Amino acid sequence: MLFAVRFTDKTTMRHVRTEYMAAHIAWLAARQAQIKVAGSLRHDASEHPIGALWIIEAETKEEVESLWQTDPFWVHGMRESVEILQWSKAFPETMVGI
């Protein structure tokens, strides 16, 4: 199954993004088999990120929860909240990715 995971960041924890970005990217890279798409979200391209959106392939919602809880951004307190939704693609035969 595919899940859309939307994170909202704490505005007071922007320093975590700077400090742990390399560790976060390495963490994501090590999990590319499950995390199909990942990236930050902004209201405008010139603004600071306000969160992130990931598309994850997993068997259960619990598997998704156990995955993101080891992300350096989560471990170091940058994330304020997370929303996990099952995602049904409009074109199932199309690969997820950019």
Task: State residue 76's pLDDT score.
Answer: 97
Q: What's 77's domain CATH number?
A: 3.30.70.1060
Task: State residue 96's pLDDT score.
Answer: 60
Question: Does residue 92 lie in a domain region?
Answer: no
Helix, strand or coil, per DSSP, at residue 35: strand
Question: Does residue 33 lie in a domain region?
Answer: yes
Question: Does residue 77 lie in a domain region?
Answer: yes
Task: State residue 89's pLDDT score.
Answer: 80
- Structural domains counted in the chain: 1
> What one-character DSSP code corresponds to residue 48?
P
Below-50 pLDDT ranges, the chain = none
Question: Does residue 96 lie in a domain region?
Answer: no
Task: State residue 38's pLDDT score.
Answer: 96
Q: Rounded to an integer, what distance in angstroms lies between the CA atom of residue 5 and that of residue 37?
A: 10
pTM over the 0.95 mark: no
Q: Rounded to an integer, what distance in angstroms lies between the CA atom of residue 27 and that of residue 15?
A: 18
